[in-house]
Structure 1
Amino acid sequence: MSATADHADGEGLASRLGFESGMIVQELGYDDDCDDAFRAAISDITGEALVGDDTEDVVDVVLLWWREEDGDLFDGLLNALTDLKAGGVVWLMTPKVGRDGYVDASDIAEAAPSAGLATTSSLSVTGDWSATKLVMPKSPRTKR
């Protein structure tokens, strides 16, 4: 497959994840094992460079690359919420089963609610990475 086809596939995946033009995306946990084509596709769709943890802006989406050896996932998720706007989304990127740094789904299921987040969907996005969409749950309706 050509680099152009790989890039087009990355854009398709990134748009499936809900990335849109003008969104500010904060990237946390970047390392040399991250998928650069996927990252580039997100920047192409949003028209914005990914920002790091030193941003002074409120962000629409946090792209959090997380591996088992990165520490306590709960702490990582709390950190991801620091600059996220109300109604924003955290995409938790974890290595797929059998890859170095694999994070068990039960760890995500335990850490997310503790951090005030709800898991809405999980997708395979690249050859090595899965994405789990985490959102702040809508508050329950109050009875009148």
Structure 2
Amino acid sequence: MSATADHADERTNPAARLGFQPGQVVQELGYDDDAEQELRDGIEAITGEDLVDESYDDVADAVVLWFRDDDGDLTDALVDATTLIDPGAPVWLLTPKTGRDGYVEPSDIGEAAQTAGLSQTSTVNAGKDWSGSRLVTPKTAGKK
């Protein structure tokens, strides 16, 4: 695919910039009515798979975690999310943008990610009301 086509995909599918691949299983946590439906549809279009929820009982290739300030403890939510994926797989933490209900301070995200053993690798615009933070576990994690 050409770079021009990649950029066109990013304009028409907001999930294109999240790096999902065809055939990947993406587990979605924290879904509610305020979630960005266009992003959810875009992930399914790229992967060719339906998003799976918290009842999925196998290892997923990635996790999409919708999180709002009043959803509880972010560190706990991130630790729970990492138990559902292999080391090195991404957790996309989706939080409301500045000024939106449920906004989460970037410093809170950084602190929770570090406490949960995750590294933040990028941040993207994930839709009209949501920002996405790509968090990953170290590839050597879990070997004790």
Normalized against structure 1, the TM-score is what? 0.87
Q: Which amino acid in structure 2 is aligned with residue 131 of structure 1?
A: G
Q: Which amino acid in structure 1 is aligned with residue 94 of structure 2?
A: M
Q: Is the 8 A contact 1:10 1:37 kept in 2?
A: no
Matching of residue 79 in structure 1 with residue 80 in structure 2: yes
Q: Is the 8 A contact 2:68 2:102 kept in 1?
A: yes
CA-to-partner distance for each residue in 1:37-75, whole Å, 9 max, x for gaps?
A: 110110011000000111111111100000000011000
Cα distance, 1:123 vs structure 2: 1.1
Cα distance, 1:81 vs structure 2: 1.0
Q: Which amino acid in structure 2 is aligned with residue 129 of structure 1?
A: W
1:30 aligned partner: 31
C-alpha distance in structure 1 between counterparts of 2:12 and 2:92, whole Å: 15
Normalized against structure 2, the TM-score is what? 0.87
The CA RMSD measured in Å over matched residues stands at: 1.5
C-alpha distance in structure 2 between counterparts of 1:121 and 1:8, whole Å: 16
Distance 1:65 1:10, change over 3 A: farther
Unaligned ranges ≥5, structure 1: 1-6, 140-144
Q: Is the 8 A contact 2:10 2:16 kept in 1?
A: no
C-alpha distance in structure 2 between counterparts of 1:89 and 1:134, whole Å: 6
SS at match of 2:107: helix
Bigger strand fraction: 1
1:62 aligned partner: 63
Cα distance, 1:15 vs structure 2: 1.8
Distance 1:8 1:135, change over 3 A: closer
2:4 aligned partner: none
Identity %: 52
Unaligned ranges ≥5, structure 2: 1-8
C-alpha distance in structure 1 between counterparts of 2:34 and 2:12, whole Å: 16
Q: Which amino acid in structure 1 is aligned with residue 69 of structure 2?
A: E
Cα distance, 1:137 vs structure 2: 2.9
2:22 aligned partner: 21
Distance 1:49 1:10, change over 3 A: farther
Q: Provide the aligned length of Structure 1 versus Structure 2.
A: 132
